Every structure is written in structure tokens, then in C-alpha cells.
Amino acid sequence: MINIAIDGPSGAGKSTVAKLVAKKLGITYLDTGAMYRVCALYATRMGADMDDEVQIKKLLPNISISFSGDGESKKVLLNGEDVSSQIREHHISKAASDISKLHCVRDFLVSQQRAIAATSDVVLDGRDITSNVLPDAEYKFFLTASVEVRAMRRYKELLARGENIDFEKVKSDIKDRDKNDSEREYAPLILTPDSTLIDSSDMTAEQVADTIISQINAKK
């Protein structure tokens, strides 16, 4: 099986790049952040507190996450309902970062991610893929960009989605999420020594995807 692991902070362009790499190689793309977002959406709908592990743990058996379609038309499903757009709303980003601190949520999702990686050629992107989900993956990358660039990318995405939001707010929320995701106690975002670091601040997604593919080809 080919497993390509890509980690990095919010807005680094991981999902765009991972999708492109998957398309160019003709393999599957698994958006692990979407899985945390689905849990956060479900917990929000149930009125749960993202810090309350006892309460959240009880909800997990009711959450079934699946994906349908491919490429740009790929959909994320929560118990069969298409929630692709709802999980991208700004308030869900914060809720996903909060819920991802809980051991029960990570264990619930990591086991599903490992099962997918064991049975298919896949590009996975997230925060703990290189360090925790697939520490033995053959191809590991850490994708980052300056805070300014990441905030601008996220801001444009939210505007295109019709969300009315201030750039400075997006930037400060990105900084908060960086802190949340890197400083949490369980499986934080880290740059592992065996990952290739790519700073995409001045690169297009195509260029980053081609860099990743050429590194993979060089290693083969």
C-alpha cells in the first residue's frame, strides 16, 4: 500500500495539495480534519460541551462518517447526510479544534483512519498523521506557510462561501488554533524529524503537489 502522510497547521493548503497529489497518482484522498469537523458538528447539534469528555464519549457511537464521490465533487456524510458545506463554517473550525483534544474522539477516528490506510493507497492530511496515525508511513511531509498567507487563504475561502467575516478576526483565530493544535497534550501537531518540510507561502498548490510527487519518485 502507498501511504502519503501530510501534516501542517490550518490554512497551509494541505487539503488542496493532498487532493491534487491523490488525483495525479490516481489514489484516494482522506481528509482527516473533515472527520474531526463532523464530530464537532454532531456534538454542536446535540448541544454538547466540547470540553466534556463524558458527554461527548456517549455521542460517538451515534456518529457514522463516510465519503462519497471523488475529486472536487467528493462529499462528507454524517449518518448519510451531506454535511460537506456545514462542516466548513467558521464556528465549526474552533469546535473541531476543541473536540480534537479529547482522547475518546482521537481514538474513535484514528482507528478508522488506520483501517482505511491499511486497505487502500491513500494520501492523508491532518495534524498527527506523520507522528501518530501512521508513524511508519513511507512518505511524510509537513506543509506550512506564514500566518499572514494562511489567514488570507482562509479569509478568501470564507468570503467565497458567503460568510461575512473580518480578516483580523480570521488571523487571530488561526493563531489560536495553531496554539490549540500544537500545544494539546495528546497527539499534538509536530514536525517529525523524518518529514520533509515544505513552506508553501510563495508556491502554488500545483507546485507543492509536484514537489511532493518528485520527492516520492526520487525515493522509489
Binding site for ligand DC (CB under 6 A): 10, 32-33, 36-37, 93, 96-97, 100, 126-129, 177, 181
Nearer to ligand DC, 26 or 50 (CB): 50
CA count, 13 A, side-chain hemisphere, 149: 13
Nearer to ligand DC, 126 or 158 (CB): 126
Nearer to ligand DC, 173 or 212 (CB): 173
d(CA 114, CA 123): 12
C-alpha dihedral, 30 to 118 to 67 to 210, nearest 10°: 30
Nearer to ligand DC, 10 or 84 (CB): 10
d(CA 80, CA 97): 23
Q: Which run of H or of E encompasses 181?
A: helix 167-183
Residue 129 DSSP code: I
CB of 32 to ligand DC, least distance (A): 4
Nearer to ligand DC, 183 or 214 (CB): 183
CB of 212 to ligand DC, least distance (A): 17
Residue 10 — left, alpha, or beta (φ > 0 → left; ψ -120 to 50 → alpha)?
A: beta
CB of 168 to ligand DC, least distance (A): 19
- The answer to whether 187 touches 194, Cβ cutoff 8 Å, is no
DSSP-derived pairing of the beta strands 139-144 and 28-31: unpaired
